[in-house]
Structure 1
Amino acid sequence: MTAQNLLPRARHEHLLRQLDLHGSVSAAQIADELGVAQVTIRRDILELEKSGLLARVHGGAIGVSAPATPQSARTDIGVVVPSSVGHFPVIVKGMDAASHAVHARLILATSQYRHDLERRQVERLVELGVDGIILAPTLRGRTETELLDWVRTIPVPVVFLERRLRSTGLAAFDSARTDHAGGAVLALEHLAALGHVRVALALFDRTPTAPLIREGYMRAVADLGLGNAPEVALPKDDLDDLDEALARLLDSCAATGTRAVLVHTDVHAARLVEMAADAGIRVPEDLAVIAYDDDSAALALVPLTAVTAPGRDLGQQALRTLMDRIAEDRDERSAPRHLMMLPGLTVRSSCGAVR
């Protein structure tokens, strides 16, 4: 990438690094270093000032409130998530967006849903000297007691991410997660308001999110007085098996007069829409579809209404929770903080409503 095509984020990071080193920056000097116009740097300075990261002065900017924090005072934060695709990248981006204001550096590692790799990644981060860890632990094939026994050996503060943990021992740790059950309720309330009396469910069962979605779905069916509707579990990898499960769902919906469905995830929902089109079933006229997850929902054949997780906000709050915990005196620790954030509903074409 040439200097002229440097992304705003890269310019912002350069500006903030120079502020950390020198306490002030000149717009002309930064423009010369990056090979861009001074007006571009002045616009960057204005954006960073709005975020509270610096203060404008004539010809440049200075650090806010106090001299720039010395590099030695930076806080290193380890982040261990199962995957670098899908649900978690947006959350990590939220952490990254909040990291500059608190002088934190993120070190990201993935576990690939493997207990052994997860443990090694945490050990590596501790060896690197991180001050705290944000962890989305792998739960499949592990009891909460086993998880607790391990996490208690981690010598730095830990914040759990996107996991509902029931044991009182694990409840002693801070956590931040999405209210996935509430997200399912939100979807069914929307479909019920559109006049649907039953809503089918297609669930990607192998994820930690799936039981929470089913819990919210069952609660909403009872509370809204909805009728019984088809439910299918979606397979993990085999595309033929997936198509078979989705075809079975379409047949069951037709047989029971079910004209709405909640599909986890948006990738599976997009495939359902394609198969419906091949079968002559119109979305949303014949079948209303809401996707659970909004990573690629807008790009489906029919843009999908989707339950949209508060990813960036959740990441920012998880980081701030850990920074607060790190700053506390060990002898005067406050009570554990359990943050839960409700998703939103992004209405597009697939449910037959415009909001």
Structure 2
Amino acid sequence: MREPVDRRHQRILAAVQSRGTARVRDLAAELQVSVVTLRRDVEELAREGRLRRGHGVVHSTLPAQELPGSGTAGPDGDMVAVVVPELHSYLYETLHGARTVLEAAGLRIALRIAPQVAGAERPLVERALADGARGLLLAPRWRTPAVEEADYGWLAALQVPAVLMERRPPAGSALHALDSVCSDHWYGAHLAVEHLVGLGHRRIVFATRDDSPTARNLRASFTRIATEHPLVEEWAWALSSPDAGKDGPYAAHETADVPTLLRKLGATAAVLHGDVDALMAAQRLAENGVRVPEDCSVVAYDDVLAGLGTIPLTAVAPPKTEVGRVAAELLLHRLAGGHGTGSPTVRRVELLPSLTVRGSTGEPITPQR
């Protein structure tokens, strides 16, 4: 299925605006389109004034104070910082939800992109605070629990309002009382399992990542739901790709080869986190003569790209944009009410994902035994 042009343009704008400047070839690789297509799209967006072209690069048209690392608060202190990981399209959608609310409130945004190394967020936050940021929206990468715990101390000591997006430290931790907005990923896992069980599937393969709090939450949720569900006869779990958790405790665990796991378990369905891993799994199934959905139903988790496959994938969609919007509203509430003694009650918000049914799921026709 060919991706709609307007959707592709939105992805290009999100990628460029999140970092200020991007190389054309890097963007093409990241967005999984040809360089020729990317250049054609960039030319059209440039004609519309939404991007600026350079020699092999693309520049955002956002004002300088809104670009990564260049935010400078005015004398009225009207800036907040947003810190998200690089190359994370899921959280970029969350960012755009937050941006709408913050800009409507007259606040400028200093976007900081954290590289894929442990501890990358702290210096970015310190720089933003030195530049005058009044508040923070944060989505630390936290590849492992140990990396997460290492950040608790300095985050708890922040002297400005802060809200976590898609991150919720465990009860009793130093960050337990920090404002946060998350998707209810247990409910998302529940939607996927109930959809498949309702179609008649009784043996299911689960393949998740293990390199973020969301991934670890999903793995635990699928394990609990599948174990307790009276209609799930057999299930298996594996890492969804070789790089899905290379720094975590499951690094040596089997990486999901879906056709092999299906045969081993006699399964007729698979749920994979996230979209790229699910799309690649569907391709491998086809290469191995396994028909989707006749021989195997496939559900993706994230729904950023799931609908763009040759067979559009049924997918669980966390409310990405809404998470950002609500997090920004919490931050505004905190800024209006002060910080520290007498400040507004701490809030922990959970938003429910939804399920979009497409062509990759159906009743089991030829169970694999």
Q: Same fold (TM over 0.5)?
A: yes
Report what 1:150 is aligned to: 154
> 1:118 & 1:144 partners in 2: Cα distance?
11
Match of 1:326 among 325, 335, 340: 335
Q: Give 2:88's match in structure 1, choosing from 73, 85, 89.
A: 85
Check the 8 A contact 1:80/1:108 in 2, yes or no: yes
Residue identity matched to 2:98: M
Map Cα deviations across residues 132-180 of structure 1 (whole Å, 9 max, x no partner). Answer: 0111124326366532311133221111111121143312110111111
Give the drift of 1:246: 4.2
Q: CA contact under 8 A between 2:205 and 2:236: conserved in structure 1?
A: yes
Say which structure is richer in helix.
Answer: 1
Whether the aligned pair in 2 keeps the contact of 1:177 and 1:341 (CA below 8 Å) is yes
Aligned to 2:360: 350
| 1:206–1:236 Cα contact (<8 Å) kept | no
**Distance (whole Å) between structure 2 residues aligned to residue 113 and residue 182 of structure 1:** 29
TM-aligned CA deviation for residue 327 of structure 1: 1.0
Query: Could you say which residue in structure 1 is the equivalent of 2:292?
Result: 283
Question: Where does residue 71 of structure 2 map in the other structure?
Answer: none
With normalisation by structure 1, the TM-score equals: 0.74
Structure-2 residue corresponding to 1:165: 169
For the pair 1:5 / 2:48, whether they are aligned, the reply is yes
- The match for 2:67 is none
Per-residue CA deviation, residues 305-332 of structure 1 (Å, 9 max, x unaligned), is: 1111101111000001011101113442
Q: Which of the two has higher C-alpha Rg?
A: 1
Give, in angstroms, the shift of residue 184 of structure 1. Answer: 0.7
Report deviation, 1:250: 1.2
Structure 1 partner of 2:322: 313
1:261 aligns with 2:274: no
The aligned amino acid for 2:290 is I
1:220 shift after superposition: 2.3
Q: Which stretch of structure 1 is more off in the superposition, 182-191 or 109-118? A: 109-118
Which moves more between the two structures, 98-107 or 138-147?
138-147
Partner of 1:58: none
1:84-233 equivalences in 2 (<5 Å): 84-139=87-142, 140=144, 142=146, 146-168=150-172, 169-221=174-226, 222-233=228-239
Q: Distance in 1 between the 2:192 and 2:168 partners? A: 21
Change (3 A) 1:255 1:337: same
Deviation at 1:347, TM superposition (A): 1.1
Task: Answer whether contact 1:305 1:347 (CA < 8 A) is retained.
Answer: yes
Question: Counterparts of 1:252 and 1:202 in 2: how far apart (Å)?
Answer: 10
Separation of aligned partners in 2, 1:296 and 1:223 = 29
Structure 1 counterpart of 2:303, from 294, 301, 321:
294
Answer whether contact 1:308 1:344 (CA < 8 A) is retained.
yes
Q: Does the 8 Å CA contact 1:204/1:236 hold for their aligned counterparts?
A: no
Shift of 1:343: 0.9
Identity %: 32
1:339 equivalenced with 2:344 (yes/no): no
SS of residue paired to 1:230: strand
Structure 1: segments with no counterpart, 5+ residues: 8-12, 15-70
Secondary structure, counterpart of 2:234 in structure 1 = coil
How many matched pairs? Answer: 288
C-alpha distance in 2, partners of 1:101/1:4?
A: 26
* TM-score, normalised with respect to structure 2: 0.71
Name the SS of the counterpart of 1:78 in structure 2: strand
The answer on whether the counterparts of 1:74 and 1:103 sit within 8 Å (CA) in structure 2 is no
> Secondary structure of 1:332's match?
coil
C-alpha root-mean-square deviation of aligned residues, in Å? 2.6
Change (3 A) 1:175 1:105: same
Asked if structure 2 preserves the Cα contact closer than 8 Å seen for 1:74 and 1:105, the reply is: no
